[in-house]
Amino acid sequence: MDFYKLWPRISLIAAIIFAAVIVFFIPINSALFWVWVNVPLQLLHQFEEHGKGRFKKFANKELFKSKTLSDKQLFRVDAPISWILFPILAITSFIDMASGLLLPYVAAVDSITHIALSAFKREYTPGLIVSIMQFPVAIISIIMLELKANLSPMSHVIAIIALVILFGLIFFKIWQLNKKTLHK
């Protein structure tokens, strides 16, 4: 079986495992909970967005109007964020809560893009359902982190700068892939 078609299903299994661990081991009233809750939601989002090639079909048909993106390329763009960045930042939040602040910011902006695109197109777009759930959780996470962890304003500034850099890298990578494919 092709791993690049399988990874969204693995994301679903990982989301269930992370959710169970979080519910059983991290108190809901702790700042850590509000960092960690974003990890399984992001993995669930990946499952909805990329399962059965939904995003690839949508992006190639609606956004790029060509067969630009492959499963492998999408994996290389999206999986490092959900499978590497989110868990690493969640783990480092045990040491410094400010490091976990990027997770809800990424989730909020990603959710807004999905919701706005669906509203603009007036149709379902891959990832919309989880985005509708993920957005309020991300906002609540930011608020709860502020209340529970007493983060400095600079923590938010750094998280927002990191967010802009991260999304800039994502859009650059997608543009690069699109440019390469169209000029073959």
User: What confidence score (pLDDT) does residue 181 get?
Assistant: 58
CA–CA distance, 175 with 171 (Å, rounded to integer): 6
Structure tokens at 175: 């543009």
35 residue type, one letter: V
- Give the CA radius of gyration of the chain: 17
> If you average pLDDT over residues 12-26, what whole number do you get?
97
Q: What is the pLDDT of residues 106-150, one digit of tens each?
A: 999 999 999 999 999 999 999 999 999 999 999 999 999 999 998
Domain spans, the chain: 3-182
The two tokens of residue 136 are 């309020």
Alpha carbon distance 184, 163 (integer Å): 32
101, 156 Cβ separation under 8 angstroms? yes
Q: What are phi and psi of 7, to 5 degrees?
A: -55, -35
Confidence grade of residue 43 (pLDDT, cut at 50, 70, 90): very high
Give dist(CA 55, CA 5) in Å, integer.
Answer: 12
Q: Are 57 and 66 in contact (CB under 8 A)?
A: no
Inter-residue contact 33 to 90 (CB < 8 Å): no
CA 23 from centre of chain: 20
SS3 18: helix
Give the C-alpha separation, 178 to 144, whole Å. 39
Residue 11 has pLDDT above 70, yes or no: yes
Query: Is-contact 47 15, C-beta < 8 A?
Result: yes
Highest-confidence segment of 64-68, 98-102, 133-137? 133-137
Q: Mean pLDDT score of the chain, rounded to an integer? A: 90
Question: Can you give the pLDDT at residue 141?
Answer: 96
What does the pLDDT read at residue 95? Answer: 94
